[in-house]
Structure 1
Amino acid sequence: MHGGWCWRSVRDLLARAGHRVFTPSLTGQGEHRHLLGPDVGVATHMADVADLLHYEDLDDVHLVLHSYAGVLAGPVAGRAAGRIASVTFLGAFVVRPGECLLDVEPPGTADRYRALAAAEGDGWCLPADASFLIQWGITDEKLAAWVAPRLTAFPLRCQTDAVDFDPGPLAALPASDGRHTRPPLPSLERSADRARERGWDVHSLPTGHDMMLEDPLATAHLLTRATGNGTA
């Protein structure tokens, strides 16, 4: 339900530290909300990221994926082989080949999302609603008032499309897991277990799920530590 806008402050901090930073909005999200439709799915968003790397001719890329975008890691690593230097799962979901996002969510959460899409999203999307801010741990009233009107409806297909990829390219990359602890998100517990099983570096922030909005400076520092690129 976010777009590149949520990374504005982190992007500016990293750019001032000398990094070249891209914060693309996925199809149907943020300023691309006019492209939202029932055909938008995981493959659409994978192409968004992979095509950015291609058309900007980027390499040595430290790919940072937040929340849902974690499911794009495997497909993007395969399609953009040779361009990516590392992957950071920032409060992000970790899926295996053949799984969809709802497969790694708690069953009750998956059922709630399907029911919400059926009842209020014409069967194909989760309507944007300020109540999600509570789930994500945003308690500051001023921040909530700024974020809520910028949320966009989210395609159910992005949660139900199985992700097909060769696990080899992703497994060959250095990976980090960035966790938030105040509060943690129960939906991410299975993904955190997988990060531990794979021996990824683990970093944490005392924020809620929208860490880039809650504490941009600490998020920028976490990303520079996770990627081994100095300080922000």
Structure 2
Amino acid sequence: MARDGRVVWPVATFVLVHGAMHGGWCWAQVRRRLTAAGHEVFTPSLTGQGERRDALTREVGPATHVRDLTDLLWFEDLTDVHMVLHSYAGVLAGPLAEAAIGRLASLTYLAGFVVEPGECLLDVEPSRVADRYRQLARDQGEGWFLPPAPAFLEQWGIPDDRRAHVGERLTAFPLRCQTEPVHYAPAPLTALPLTYLRHTRPPLESLDLSYARAVRAGWDIREIACGHDVMLAEPDRTAELLEAIAHG
């Protein structure tokens, strides 16, 4: 324990993965806090997102993003990794755990979607939300992407003083990432220590089924009192919780 009373954790390796329309930029404050504590932290931007927005095509899907992450793990030769998946990135958990056997120490769904083999993201969304996304892609996204509409800032509970910062950094998101099922063997995922970190102020109805699945499966459950962009709303608390999760 540090002299100021803070818990000092052993050094860990984190890979923090953003959700839809975001990029590695959204983790900046959490990354600074974790690296200042001596941890090794990677915050990749998935293909077509963040500063990689020019790579967005209609072919980008969950398999593309799983490959992004497995490539990172391989090229950096990372092991004993605490993988943190926010929102959409939860869809990648099963295929990623299967492809990265021996490299992951734990996996945390940070307000993430939990899908079973053969499901897509829209399968676990409320039907009216799924219908709205499909309509938005048809009307404003050339049939294959969701534009970063201002309504998402309200939906995700972004505070007014953060909306300009977040809104101008959001990028279009491929509908394929929401409609393409993922296929994986469950055993590598269920063999990992699994945590579900739920946000409560406000909660997000779209995550109710995912949260219920985590509770039913007996995962470690944590809560944080903020909106959906947890890492932006409460970076200090998020960093503290991730350290605690990584070290039990």
TM-score tier after normalising by the smaller chain length: over 0.9
The unaligned stretches of length 5 or more in structure 1 are none
Structure richer in helix, relative to its length: 1
Given the alignment, which residue of 187, 192, 206 partners 1:168?
Answer: 187
Task: Give TM-score, length-normalised by structure 1.
Answer: 0.97
Residue 76 of structure 1 is aligned with which of 76, 82, 96? Answer: 96
Distance 1:136 1:48 in 2: 25
SS in 1 for 2:84: strand
Task: Report sequence identity in percent.
Answer: 61
Would you say 1:5 and 2:21 are equivalent positions?
Answer: no
**In structure 1, distance between residues paired with 2:194 and 2:246:** 9
Q: How many residues align?
A: 228
Task: Give 1:226 shift.
Answer: 1.6
Q: CA RMSD in A?
A: 0.7
Is the aligned partner of 1:149 residue 2:168? yes
In the TM superposition, what whole-angstrom CA distance separates every residue of 1:68-102 from its partner, at most 9, and x where no partner exists? 00010100100010000000000000000000000
Work out the CA distance in 1 between the residues paired with 2:23 and 2:150: 16
Hey, what's the Cα distance between the residues in 2 that align with 1:31 and 1:129? 18
Q: Distance in 2 between matches of 1:90 and 1:3?
A: 15
* Per-residue deviation, residues 191-210 of structure 1 (Å, max 9, x unmatched): 00110111111111100000
Q: What secondary structure is seen at the aligned counterpart in 1 of 2:142?
A: coil
Who is 1:198 aligned against? 217
Counterpart AA for 2:131: D
Match of 2:238 in 1: 219
Query: 1:140: how far off?
Result: 2.8
Corresponding residue for residue 184 of structure 1: 203
Superposed displacement of residue 139, structure 1: 2.0
Structure 2 unpaired stretches of 5+: 1-20
Is the CA contact (8 Å cut-off) linking 1:97 and 1:167 kept in structure 2? yes
In structure 1, C-alpha distance between the alignment counterparts of 2:92 and 2:109, rounded to whole Å: 10
Deviation at 1:20, TM superposition (A): 0.2
Q: What SS does the aligned partner of 1:222 have?
A: helix
Q: Distance in 2 between matches of 1:179 and 1:42?
A: 23
Consecutive aligned runs of 4 or more in structure 1 exceeding 2 Å deviation:
none
